[in-house]
């Protein structure tokens, strides 16, 4: 079995794909030192403190890196955004599978996909977040500084493997789309 250092000598870029975010800081310390571009798959880290450490480490070492949900790059989402170009986005309701794993929070594990789609549409500026949890799933509501509201409904994985999707409320239209969980669009990006 090859070591991380041996593998780093054989590649031009790195996908840190461990599904255990508790390992990511230690692996990032090894990988970022090589100076190669890095994609960190979800969850970025086990907690906020480790996520901040990863970002600061990359900055200190000058390592190019990013982390994102593969859903952000789905063709269907890009087509929806193109269709809404020129409209004011009044709100968005995203939904998706919600489950936790390896001691991670649900929103950092699978919930991140739906949240990232929500932010892709709504943009920055969320000022307040509220979350209601129930056996059937969660509802996380964000209120943006300009008064817009975005909602993520996380459906309990054990009950339904539903995938992901969203409804966007534009100033002139309402659009809905289902999103497949595929990596090729992310890799092409």
Could you tell me what percentage of the chain is helix, strand and coil, using 3-state DSSP and rounding each to the nearest 5?
35, 30, 35
Q: Are residues 163 and 136 in the same domain?
A: yes
Residue 93, token pair as written in the block: 């309701």
Rounded Cα distance, 162 and 100, in Å: 15
Residue 57, token pair as written in the block: 């480490």
Q: Are residues 91 and 8 in the same domain?
A: no
Higher pLDDT, 32 or 104: 32
Q: Are residues 29 and 104 in the same domain?
A: no
Tell me how many domains the chain contains. Answer: 2
Query: Collapsing DSSP states into helix, strand and coil, what is residue 96?
Result: strand
High-pLDDT (> 90) share of the chain, % = 57
CATH number for position 112: 3.30.360.10
Over the stretch 52-65, which tens digit does the pLDDT of each residue have?
999 999 999 999 99
Rounded Cα distance, 148 and 168, in Å: 12
Q: Are residues 61 and 134 in the same domain?
A: no
Higher pLDDT, 30 or 70: 30
| Predicted local confidence at residue 186, as pLDDT | 62
CATH number for position 48: 3.40.50.720
Q: DSSP per residue over 42-74, as a string?
A: SSS-SSHHHHHHHHHHHHHHT--EE---GGGG-
Q: Are residues 61 and 91 in the same domain?
A: no
CB 15 within 8 A of CB 27: no
Beta strands in the chain (DSSP E): 14-16, 38-40, 65-66, 89-98, 126-134, 137-144, 149-156, 164-170, 174-179
Over the stretch 117-176, which tens digit does the pLDDT of each residue have?
999 999 999 999 999 988 888 999 999 999 999 999 998 766 556 788 999 999 999 999
Residues 99, 180, 20, 22: what is their CA dihedral angle, to the nearest 10 degrees?
A: -80
Residue 119: give the domain boundaries: 70-188
Over the stretch 49-99, which tens digit does the pLDDT of each residue have?
999 999 999 999 999 999 988 888 888 998 999 999 999 999 999 999 887
CA distances for 40 relative to 7, 65, 179, angstroms: 16, 7, 21
């Amino acid at each position: 079995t090859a070591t991380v250092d041996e593998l780093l000598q054989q590649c031009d870029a790195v996908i840190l794909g461990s599904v255990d975010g508790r390992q990511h800081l230690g692996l990032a310390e090894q990988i970022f030192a090589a100076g190669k571009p890095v994609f960190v798959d979800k969850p970025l880290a086990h907690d906020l403190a480790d996520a901040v450490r990863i970002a600061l480490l990359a900055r200190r070492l000058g390592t190019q890196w990013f982390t994102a949900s593969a859903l952000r790059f789905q063709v269907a989402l890009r087509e929806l955004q193109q269709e809404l170009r020129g409209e004011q986005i009044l709100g968005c309701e995203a939904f998706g599978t919600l489950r936790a794993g390896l001691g991670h929070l649900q929103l950092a594990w699978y919930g991140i996909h739906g949240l990232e789609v929500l932010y892709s549409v709504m943009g920055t500026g969320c000022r307040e977040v509220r979350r209601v949890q129930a056996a059937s799933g969660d509802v996380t509501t964000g209120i943006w500084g300009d008064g817009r509201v975005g909602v993520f409904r996380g459906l309990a994985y054990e009950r339904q493997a539903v995938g992901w999707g969203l409804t966007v409320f534009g100033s002139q239209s309402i659009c809905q789309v289902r999103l497949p969980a595929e990596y090729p669009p992310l890799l092409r990006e």
